[in-house]
Amino acid sequence: MFQIFPNINVDWMGWRKPLIAVSILLLLAGLISAVGRQLTPGGTNAFNLGVDFQGGTFITAKFQGQKPSEDAIRQELQNVGVSEAVIQASTDKQDEVLIKVPLIEGDAANQTAEDAASQNAANTNQSTDPSAQIAAENQAQNNLVNAGRNKVREALNTFGKEAEGTTALTDDPNAAYKIVGTDYVGPVAGEQLRNQAVIATLLGLVGILLFIAFRYDWTYAAGAVIAVFHDVLITLAFFSIFQWEVSLTVLAALLTLVGFSVNDSIVIFDRIRENLRLYRDRSLYALTNQSINQTMSRTIVTNGLVFLSVLALVLFGGEVLRGFSLALFVGCITGTYSTIAIASPIAIWWQDKLGAAEVKRTDVQKTEQLASASRRSVSRRPIAR
């Protein structure tokens, strides 16, 4: 096997406390950021949730002639007050663009509330009618959709006028674009997506725990799962601190990170198990250091290539993949680090605790056996007359 550092001999276990302290500081920083933002009146949320999770309007615009770039559309949307839009070119239709805008607040939301209030006042007798309630909800949804569509239309009008009414885009040579599709994702649907994301991550962690417990030992499984939790939480801490947008692509990156981190841990655990059979006279502490050093070249080669690929995504992936690439970038670093600094020390610490408990239990059993034998000896001694 190719070795970058064939004679490496680092006492990784000796550095475990400072490395764990760094992790604790990062986790505390993320916790303070999330709690502080959530509790500050008028402040931002703990996480900058994207349209996929908080709801919004999805608009498909078709262009005629030269299609403006995604950056140009994003800039015009920012000029009209929409700063968190997601612009994505269609993969099968080169002249179409998908624009996702969050729920429009402010005047549009106030107008929606006023419309709902006036409708309830005008239809007092129907306030308990389910059909009237459904109609009111549909009207409120339409108002939100129209507010988002009007903002997009205002931004796109800087590139030329829109094809009017039912006129096809090709039938109006003076038109620059036409909105050909509009969809809406409400806050309830966004909350369901968020809950499903949490459930999917937890189920993945449970599956990993069961697999490693079956394949190796439950102490190793605990170390690997805690390391995965560590990687996901630190990645989320960075997203809270820097307010990077959390979208469905970020969820995909987190699930990818779970498998990536566990794979590194399993490689080291497998080497520890192999060395335990070969060097029975060595301590578990020394064998863990030896196993990490033996797999270090493999870790640098494989994780280094992944890091370079993710770095290319961060630099050249564009805004659509920004959250995905940033999550993988942070997770790639923390996943490599946690395999050495979190998973292995926790597994070894647990093994030592179990070993000490077993020795203590054996000593107690021996003491009880000696005491029992002594009592039997005393009971059999003849009584002096």
pLDDT digits (tens, 9 = 90+) for 125-157: 444 566 666 666 666 667 777 788 888 989 999
Q: Which residue has the higher pLDDT, 242 or 120?
A: 242
Query: Do residues 180 and 207 share a domain?
Result: no
CATH code of 160's domain: 3.30.70.3400
Query: Do residues 307 and 193 share a domain?
Result: yes
Query: Do residues 199 and 170 share a domain?
Result: no
| Domain-embedded: residue 47 | no
Query: Do residues 109 and 223 share a domain?
Result: no
| Domain-embedded: residue 385 | no
| Listed range (89-98, 242-251, 318-327) with the worst mean pLDDT | 89-98
Last residue of a domain, one of 150, 185, 220: 185
- Residue 378: pLDDT band (50, 70, 90) is very low
307 Cβ neighbours under 8 A, 6+ residues apart = 329, 332, 333
Residue 90's SS3 state is coil
| Domain-embedded: residue 373 | no
Which amino acid type is present at position 127?
S
Query: Do residues 204 and 312 share a domain?
Result: yes
Query: Do residues 236 and 262 share a domain?
Result: yes
Residue 88's SS3 state is strand
Per-residue confidence (pLDDT) for residue 315, from 0 to 100: 92
Query: Do residues 314 and 209 share a domain?
Result: yes
DSSP string, 138-206: HHHHHHHHHHHHHHHHHHHGGG-PBPPTT--GGG-TT--EEEEEEEEE-HHHHHHHHHHHHHHHHHHHH
In sequence order, the β-bridge partners of residue 60 are 98, 181
Rg from Cα positions in the chain? 31
Query: Do residues 202 and 263 share a domain?
Result: yes
CATH code of 269's domain: 1.20.1640.10
Q: What is the mean pLDDT of the chain?
A: 79
Residues 91-105: tens digit of each pLDDT: 677 888 988 888 775
Query: Do residues 160 and 194 share a domain?
Result: no
DSSP string, 36-68: HHHHSTT---SSEE-HHHH-EEEEEEEESSSPP
Q: Is the pLDDT of residue 39 over 80?
A: yes
Question: Are residues 187 and 103 in contact, defined by beta-carbon separation less than 8 angstroms?
Answer: yes
**Residue 31, both tokens:** 């916790």
Per-residue confidence (pLDDT) for residue 136, from 0 to 100: 67
Query: Do residues 31 and 78 share a domain?
Result: no
Which amino acid type is present at position 44?
T
Percent with pLDDT over 70 in the chain: 78
What is the CB neighbour count within 10 angstroms for residue 208? 20
Q: How many secondary structure helices (H) and strands (E) does the chain include?
A: 12, 6
- Residue 270: pLDDT band (50, 70, 90) is confident
Query: Do residues 148 and 116 share a domain?
Result: yes
| Domain-embedded: residue 379 | no
Last residue of a domain, one of 137, 169, 185: 185
Question: Are residues 46 and 38 in contact, defined by beta-carbon separation less than 8 angstroms?
Answer: yes
Between CA 220 and CA 346 the distance in angstroms is 8
Last residue of a domain, one of 168, 185, 202: 185
Question: Are residues 346 and 273 in contact, defined by beta-carbon separation less than 8 angstroms?
Answer: no
How many domains, in total, are found in the chain? Answer: 2
Residues 204-239: tens digit of each pLDDT: 778 877 877 777 777 777 888 888 889 999 999 999
Domain ranges, residue 204: 13-38+189-365
Q: How many CA atoms lie within 13 A of 198 on its CB side?
A: 8
Between CA 346 and CA 219 the distance in angstroms is 8
| Domain-embedded: residue 370 | no
Query: Do residues 228 and 291 share a domain?
Result: yes
| Domain-embedded: residue 74 | yes
| Domain-embedded: residue 61 | yes
| Domain-embedded: residue 358 | yes
Q: How many CA atoms lie within 13 A of 334 on its CB side?
A: 28
Q: Is the pLDDT of residue 299 over 50?
A: yes
Between CA 215 and CA 229 the distance in angstroms is 20
